[in-house]
Structure 1
Amino acid sequence: MHFAVDSNDSPPHDWNNFLLKSDTGTIYNTADYAKYAEKWLGWKPQFLRLVDSKGNIVLQNLLFEYNRGLKKVPDPIRKIYQRFYKILRWNYGPVATSQDSITHFFEYLKTTKKHVYGMTHPFTNLSDINFSKQKWATFLIDLHKTKQDLYENLEKNSARKNIERSIERKRAGFACFLARKGGIPIGGLMFSFFNKYINEWGVARSHIDTDQKLYSQDLIKWKIIEWGIDNNMNWYDLTGFNPNPISKKEEGLLRYKKKWGGKQYDLWIIRK
């Protein structure tokens, strides 16, 4: 199968429509995320598409070009560094309709002289590629299930306990849940929900929450699960972790994510 590569600095008008037709289309490949990353992170977006011989779009991936560690480079050689040491990165991609198009995408990346850092989607079946790969993982909560079924899946001695003793706290927003105690905010969590797929964005926890061991994040996660079911979402992604932890911190992170009863999915960090 022959594929043509189409790469642009700005998104085609139907860019997001293609993502909405795929189970692997998430916020991280949208034109909206490109604007955010360009403005706040200084990353230059590239909207890459593969088109087959019949003119059908078969793959999309939002790539970003940037220079890592630029502040540490001495001024006299900074411009040279910017020109020659560039990295292409992406998150949860590519979004594709066939395995052949994914294979061609990575063959295309081999031709670039830039360094590569990317992460595949949990649903992507990655064939053998000539890149360095590190296994990573995430837990996905299936929001097609009922609230009762998901509640029964929670670890009894941790998540359930913390939800029950925190249940008086209030929801504060549509894309953010804020926990309060006595009217004082003690924790919050931002999330996105493009294509019925929930991704966590930012976590906040106050000293009150930490010192008094209130565990507001447990309540907030459960409230997001309830919100997701009520609003016909499909999946809640608890964000990645190392499936083979090498430190106490990574072991603790794995235990925390596992207690929510989601299914573990492997994904890959790609480097070149």
Structure 2
Amino acid sequence: MGLVVHPVRPVDSSVATILAFARRQAVRVLVREGDRQRVTGGVEFVADHEFVARVDAVVALGGDGTMLGAMRLMVDRPVPVLGVNHGTLGFLVEVAPARLAEALLRLTSGDFTIEQHGCLEVTAGQGPLETRFGFNDVVLGRAGRAGTVSVDLAVNDLGYGYYRGDAVVVATPTGSTAYNYAAGGPVLSPSSDAVVVTPVAPMSGISRSVVLGAQDQVRFSVAQDSTPVTVEIDGTAAGVLDPGDVLSASLRGEAAQVVRLSTDEHASRSRVKLSLLDLPLRPDQLLELIPPDLRRLT
């Protein structure tokens, strides 16, 4: 069992639960060298490449960011990843720390389902970026308030116009509820094989979201009149593109296996979280989001 932990949030109680479970069940726990200061005793510290090669499952302690990091880490060898919520509003993480012991037993006994997730495979062959992977989104933005991002769009090597504005967001269905949604883009069904491209504060060019298929390859060429373009992948800085640089993104299917212990409970929680994003619901629809044992109190 591999363990990935949030860099600063207190997760000691969950680590203790995992180590106690591992001793009882004769499970070996592997932790990356980079997390050595966060986990002590009862584990084997290994390099990242050895971690990826050896683990049969991964437990991520944190929020969605930690979960995404674990998924990116295992993109070349997907194994079941269980998220334990030590964050706030999480769409990916499912298990509360209080239910971790039960979840570990179900994980090791195979009593769970897998939710497949695709990711964006991002390359910049003529620029400074190596190949990266993003399960939420890729954002081409500006470094400061001055200037505008100006990029030409091509899909499957055919030109489709240009964007000029504050930023351009390329999102997966998983990431469509994040920056894409805040910028006015659509929420994509988690079951869809699609990518959405949404401009942020467009000044000219394409001004609406474009939804593309799973087989489409998107390419952005930075125009000569553009400010330098910062690239963020899943909220993490990935580099800067200058005029003339090209960035490509395509959807890589089944790149991560997310553990689901109860698909119905997860779907219900996701509806609650989506309602917090101001999706319009009638009073009776809001009532449906409240667990039955609490409805009598409303």
Q: Same fold (TM over 0.5)?
A: no
- Say which structure is richer in helix: 1
TM-score of the superposed pair, with normalisation by structure 2: 0.28
TM-score of the superposed pair, with normalisation by structure 1: 0.30
